[in-house]
Structure 1
Amino acid sequence: MTVRSILSGIALAFTAYLAARSLLWTLPETVERGWLLIAALVIYLPITWVWVLLPTRRRISEPGDAEADERLSPPRWAIALALFAAAVVPNAAFAAVSEAGRAQPFVTWVIGGIGALMTVVMVRRRPIVAWIGTGILALSASVWLGPLSALSLGLVGSLVWVAAAQLITVALDRVARDAEELSELQQAASAWQASQSGRQRERRLHVQRALHVAGPVLGRTIETGGNLRPSEKTAARLAEQSLRDELRSPRLLDDGVRAEIDAARRRGMIVMLFDEGGLDDLPPSALEDIRSELAGIVRDATSERVIIRSSPHHEIAVTVVGRRATAGASADEDDVDLWREIRRPR
């Protein structure tokens, strides 16, 4: 049993109790049109119970997400019925008796009854409708009983119920918003922690790879006091360039790209990598495709210098430029003999 079902049961019982008072004609001689009292009861109870039992939420299923709740607004016909009850029920009850019987409980129940109905309307997030209905009730009761008599016979209570319902509803909505914001903050914090953990693991992998690449060279340099053979100097230069790649452009590298760049450098090619962003939001499958294409480009390159840049462009992920020196020209006037763009996967 849910909280909503318990509250709905209490509302049904309370409104039934209020309506049942209309059947206790303590002064039957004042009743001139008994059928109007019965009609007021027949109109009031179904409309009130419809408002109590209206569904407030609908289960919806969103793609890629668990089932969620969607708040439902009361339909227009229910709003029209509520205002109809607020206008007809009090006037029917007061018109059914003589002036001497208008202050009797079997007549004044309509003040509390309509107040209860407008409280339910307020809880269903229709404050304007609730206050309009309450205003109609107050006007009708004041016309038939007089303002002071209406206030003393239950109008104050009805006004308090509706106002309290509005305050509670606003407070609950605020609590719900705060809880939603807290949930979003918790999710953001969890995502940040996961991101930091991923970056820590990535940094550990970079350190391990750096030690694997540079460790033997550094050990040999210390062992010989810096007096390295030409082949060892070449290995040290390649290790330094590999470490620079790991620091500058880790998102461009995988084992295949590293192997092709190392092979190109051993052929005498100068390869430079620059990560200018644009790859952080790509999924692993897209990065794998980009790296595979990049490895093929480096494998087939014959330029003297190859510059590889990642790009934040919305269509181009990586740009590869190859340059070859021209006889008698400066370095800035090298010929471009390779230009390839790796497009961002769609």
Structure 2
Amino acid sequence: MRLTVRTVVTLLALGFAVYFASRALWWTIPPTEPVLLIAAILLFLAVVVFAVAIDVRRSRRLPLPATLVVVAASALIPNMVNLALPAEALRAPFATWYIGGVGILCVVIAVRQRLIAAWVALGLLTLSAGLWLGFADALSLGLVGSIVWMVIAHLLVTFWARAVQDTERLAGIQQASSAWHATQQVRQRERRLRVQYALAVAGPSLARVIETRGDLLPEERVEARVAEGRLRDEIRGSNLLNEQARAAIERLRRHGATVTVFDEGGLEDLDEVQRERVRTELAQVMQAASSARIIIRAPRDAQLAVTVVGRSALADEDSVELWHEIRRDVPIDS
């Protein structure tokens, strides 16, 4: 059997319960009501097992109905014991077993996270023992020990709850730190990929510029302008583009169009399926576009994910040749 703190505490509680029950059976003076005394002992054992075992797999906290049953038994047991014995036997060692026994029961209630109920049960034990034995005799016959056990149990439960809260808080901090490190690693990987992409795209053009000292052929100038545009797209709006959109934008640039891509975070809170839908629609729009100046923008908007504006080369700023909005959600046909 695997030993845990709960297992050890449970075994200790049951061991003490058996000890006090055995002590109760060591009669030095015959009880006047032996059946009532035996009933009190059996009730004590049953209530201890009940308090320890009930619902323990689902919750450490003792259910409220069970708590009420245990508190009621804590008040009943001392009176059953004293009613079963003659007056001269009330202070005998075997007769005062209930003081320690009910004290153990109070500790079990406290460990099951019912501290108020545990103190109520201890108060009922103190009242019963004081009325039957006198408060001074009750304290000298074991009540002090039960109170000390209860104080220790209360402190342990309180400190344990705080330790659990601290552990949960530290676990949350650790998870947040791990998530931050993971995010940084993803960003570093994205930066490395972008640098590699930039070298692959702009490397040949830059090498040619250096080689010719800027004296490029017309087709080489087109390649350099296309490479510059692709680099700008990857820096300012790579989240908006898929391969189809990149190819359509490159075709427009090779035909002399000016295309500007600017991502302001419009796709950040969309899942990957929604993002791919937006990219596919953008690619379709760009494949059909023929404007000389095109601006693709992803604003932070509650309804729109991307806007596409196209103007002709000779039109003024107020003349719009192409206007297309890509919504964040898929419209439902009525």
Q: TM-score, normalised by structure 2?
A: 0.91
Among 179, 183, 195, which residue is 1:191 paired with? 179
Supply the distance in 1 between the matched residues of 2:322 and 2:235 (Cα, whole angstroms). Answer: 28
What whole-Å deviation, never above 9, does each CA across 1:268-300 have from its counterpart, x for those lacking one?
Answer: 222111111132343333332222221111111
Among 99, 111, 116, which residue is 2:104 paired with? 116
Shift of 1:74: 2.5
Shift of 1:345: 6.3
Among 146, 154, 161, which residue is 1:173 paired with? 161
Supply the distance in 2 between the matched residues of 1:315 and 1:42 (Cα, whole angstroms). Answer: 71
Q: Secondary structure at the match of 1:340?
A: strand
Letter in 2 for 1:313: D
Corresponding residue number in structure 2 for 1:45: 45
Q: Secondary structure at the match of 2:325?
A: strand
Q: Any stretches of 5+ residues in structure 2 without a counterpart?
A: none
Corresponding residue number in structure 2 for 1:239: 227
Among 205, 211, 224, which residue is 2:193 paired with? 205
Among 236, 241, 244, which residue is 1:253 paired with? 241
Letter in 1 for 2:105: L
Question: Is 1:14 the counterpart of 2:6 in the alignment?
Answer: no
Q: TM-score, normalised by structure 1?
A: 0.88
What whole-Å deviation, never above 9, does each CA across 1:85-123 have from its counterpart, x for those lacking one?
Answer: 111111121222233222112211111111101100110
Contact kept? 2:258, 2:294, Cα under 8 Å: yes
Q: Secondary structure at the match of 1:57?
A: coil
Shift of 1:12: 1.6
Supply the distance in 2 between the matched residues of 1:220 and 1:87 (Cα, whole angstroms). Answer: 97
Corresponding residue number in structure 2 for 1:337: 322
Contact kept? 2:264, 2:298, Cα under 8 Å: yes
Letter in 2 for 1:52: V
Supply the distance in 2 between the matched residues of 1:160 and 1:345 (Cα, whole angstroms). Answer: 68
Structure 1 residues 161 and 315, CA gap change in structure 2 (3 angstroms) = farther
Corresponding residue number in structure 1 for 2:91: 103
Shift of 1:38: 1.8
Letter in 2 for 1:53: A
Corresponding residue number in structure 1 for 2:292: 304
Shift of 1:173: 1.9
Shift of 1:216: 1.4
Contact kept? 1:27, 1:101, Cα under 8 Å: yes
Q: Any stretches of 5+ residues in structure 1 without a counterpart?
A: 59-70
Structure 1 residues 147 and 341, CA gap change in structure 2 (3 angstroms) = same
Letter in 1 for 2:69: L
Among 282, 287, 301, which residue is 2:275 paired with? 287
Contact kept? 1:323, 1:338, Cα under 8 Å: no
Alignment of 1:308-323 (within 5 A): 308-323=296-311
Structure 1 residues 314 and 159, CA gap change in structure 2 (3 angstroms) = farther
Question: More deviation in 264-273 or 109-118?
Answer: 264-273
Question: More deviation in 94-103 or 119-128?
Answer: 94-103
Supply the distance in 2 between the matched residues of 1:284 and 1:343 (Cα, whole angstroms). Answer: 12
Report the identity percentage.
Answer: 45
Question: More deviation in 273-282 or 294-303?
Answer: 273-282
Shift of 1:48: 1.2
Contact kept? 1:315, 1:343, Cα under 8 Å: yes
Contact kept? 1:221, 1:228, Cα under 8 Å: yes
Structural RMSD (CA): 2.1
Corresponding residue number in structure 2 for 1:35: 35
Q: Secondary structure at the match of 1:106?
A: coil
Q: Secondary structure at the match of 1:138?
A: helix
